[in-house]
Chain A
């Protein structure tokens, strides 16, 4: 098609400024670095409270603990970026630890792949239910959460299943270069690979357009439904991988093993600065958020806060983080 250049100047250029002013404000810039600032501040505070904290041993232990949370939050971040939420991740993760422990004797080393694939498939089913039946994602995954917990209880006879064969996951307890726990390395790899795939392909604009404005994305002809199902699939698969990490660390699978990770995972996402309304954010942010949450978790006993207070803290930081990151002036209706 040969469209000639339009040379005629606008007849009334003064009436319409070409660009509306709006460089990011100082507050916005601080918000965007918030997770890293929080991480450093927290490390400093904990070191002051207990100078022994800043040792290789305790830091290694901290990142090792954080690995399943990082993976769980990374997967769910994708769903949040698409404008939805996946509340089933923790329950699906628990169910997957049961799968893993049950299948390990028969499948051996393959169990890892099979468990991740099974969890991914379950995630996909939730995604399909969301887009085909047009049910809000939080309802689908809330239902999923309840169902997965119950299934896990039923098939495990409501008790832990011991992992006898420790060879299949023994490698997860090794260290890369002597210091970096393998499980955390895998978590980093997951974040890096997913981020890279999104960054280098049209997926980034699909995901962001879907999250910012689903109707605009749909009317631009982008594959909104496929992108959403993919996000739920990855979220499910990540829950499966987190389950493998948990089972290898605890040498067992249990129907409630990961249940207390839902709030920390959501906290990691919002503390990282990913907008709960969709569109804005990244998996790297959730990595930083997960580290903040983990430091809080291991740090509370150091400063003498009883662990029963932990849940109060998660609740408070989720609300506070959303209050800080959500530009409420632009959101007309808060549901």
Chain B
């Protein structure tokens, strides 16, 4: 089989392994895909880049039949198809290695590889272990892996498990005579650099007999391993670039859009005083069920990011500081006073605010009004004695709706009817209305928001920091953590293992942090 196809001027060429035309998908309040076009040629590695919320995941899910688009077409090798399930997609030769691994941990590698496509591995309902091992070995040989097919999956390293996933996905070749299209969703996010190299070798090998769609947050990787990159923004395709000669900065500019300034994270707004501010939050060897001996210090006006892979315990540290997760030992002080973390009430009374990652479930009460959601915590601000004073509430809420440019028809509108960005601003305002906020814990504050809304949240964070609020940030991406933080704490297996200074002008690269994270 030849390597990269050589046709340069491809018309409506049926040679395209996969083609997406004008794909549209609505979710309540969000247009996840707004007319996306995508072309995957035979035997090429196509990179897919885009910020969180750009529509990457929805597009990938549509390609493997997990999401049904509202409009648009998907063509496989010149044939229009409707993909209703993963099996449908597999029948057309499309398979995906999922971001969250989909292997069953207590089965062997061989069992996992043939799971769901046992073929000759099962006869009359009974496992033929020899045949199965042979089938699995064939798959592993295809990708040149030396993993023992009889090893239990949970005894394998993360990188090996990923190889097993790829071997498993390649089973779709049995279903179709055509070369398959393999989608790799964030395959490198938890790999060490040596493992990443192995994976890249693997991807290049895959190109010999398949087409690959490669999705990654790390633009340098995308440029390294892909032939072309397609960029998504706000649910639309904004362009395709050949990787030869392209720079990560070019891609980044396309991802955040020409209307966005270069100062995406509003670093220009950050104020720097020469004298270090007093420490506001001091955490001394705090331990909980998923974290141990965490030390942390956040000064007034400082934004401290905590980064770590899934399972690093950073979310639990954040919740523990709010009293929403039990702490077993350790001492936490706020402005020198001991913080009561036996429940959320103590933290709230001390001026600690928390914005949860799951906005729709934990952040807001959907059927309640903007005003009720905004005033939920600081009830005293709208009351005289025990009574709610509607006038007081109206003035205060309207004032904050204007201050944060919250787009809502009225303060009495149900918060569930607002867009994500405006919902998040109401949730943030909840902690600001009383003017007593000292420490803000932000758990993925920009998750699911579009670029414009994110920019507004960043700006608000800067302004709060400038007014002296201490902030702990669990960012949605490493870029965001680096862009917003003054300092970054790296967490690893429940411990704070490294502190990286992150001043404006002297920012580390994502790769610097990744080295510390794994």
B-contacting residues, A208-228, CB 8 Å: 208-209, 212-213, 215-223
- Choose, from B24-32, B121-129, B285-293, the stretch at the interface: B24-32
A-side interface residues, number (CB < 8 Å):
41
CA distance A220 to B430 in the complex (A): 8
B-contacting residues, A1-28, CB 8 Å: 1-13, 15-22
Does A205 lie at the interface of the complex (its beta carbon under 8 Å from any beta carbon of B)? Answer: yes
Q: Which of chain A's residues has its CB closest to B234's CB?
A: A15
Does B14 lie at the interface of the complex (its beta carbon under 8 Å from any beta carbon of A)? Answer: no
Partner of B451, one of A11, A21, A216, A220: A11
Residues on B lying within 8 angstroms of A by beta carbon are 28-31, 34, 234-235, 257, 259-260, 322, 324, 344-345, 347-349, 354, 356, 361-368, 372, 375-377, 379, 382-383, 386-388, 402-405, 407-409, 413-414, 417-422, 430, 432, 435, 437, 450-453, 455-456, 459-460, 463-464, 467-469
B345-A216 in contact (CB<8A): no
A1-B432 in contact (CB<8A): yes
B419-A18 in contact (CB<8A): yes
A10-B362 in contact (CB<8A): no
A200-B387 in contact (CB<8A): yes
Partner of B365, one of A13, A200, A213: A213
B408 cross-chain contacts in A, Cβ below 8 A: 18-19
In angstroms, how far is the closest chain A Cβ from the Cβ of B234?
4
Partner of B34, one of A6, A15, A22, A216: A15
Secondary structure at the A interface, as helix, strand, loop or mixed, is: loop
In angstroms, how far is the closest chain B Cβ from the Cβ of A251?
40
A15-B418 in contact (CB<8A): no
B362 cross-chain contacts in A, Cβ below 8 A: 213, 215-216, 219
Instruction: List 16 other contacts, CB 8 Å, given A8-B459, A16-B29, A18-B407.
Output: A3-B463, A5-B405, A6-B403, A10-B421, A12-B451, A20-B418, A201-B387, A212-B366, A216-B356, A216-B362, A219-B344, A220-B430, A221-B344, A221-B345, A222-B376, A223-B345
A10 cross-chain contacts in B, Cβ below 8 A: 421, 452-453, 455-456
A205-B376 in contact (CB<8A): yes
A19-B413, A208-B365, A216-B361 are known contacts. Are A222 and B377 too (CB-CB below 8 A)? yes
Please list the 8 inter-chain residue pairs (A to B) with the smallest Cβ-Cβ separation, ordered nearest first. A221-B348, A10-B452, A18-B407, A202-B379, A15-B234, A12-B452, A11-B452, A16-B419
B407-A201 in contact (CB<8A): no
Contacts A/B (CB < 8 Å), 23 sampled: A3-B432, A4-B463, A5-B405, A6-B404, A6-B405, A6-B456, A6-B460, A11-B260, A12-B450, A16-B452, A18-B419, A18-B422, A19-B407, A19-B413, A19-B418, A202-B383, A205-B376, A209-B372, A212-B365, A219-B344, A221-B345, A221-B349, A279-B367
B interface footprint on A270-311 (CB within 8 Å = 1, 0 otherwise): 000000000110000000000000000000000000000000
A213-B450 in contact (CB<8A): no
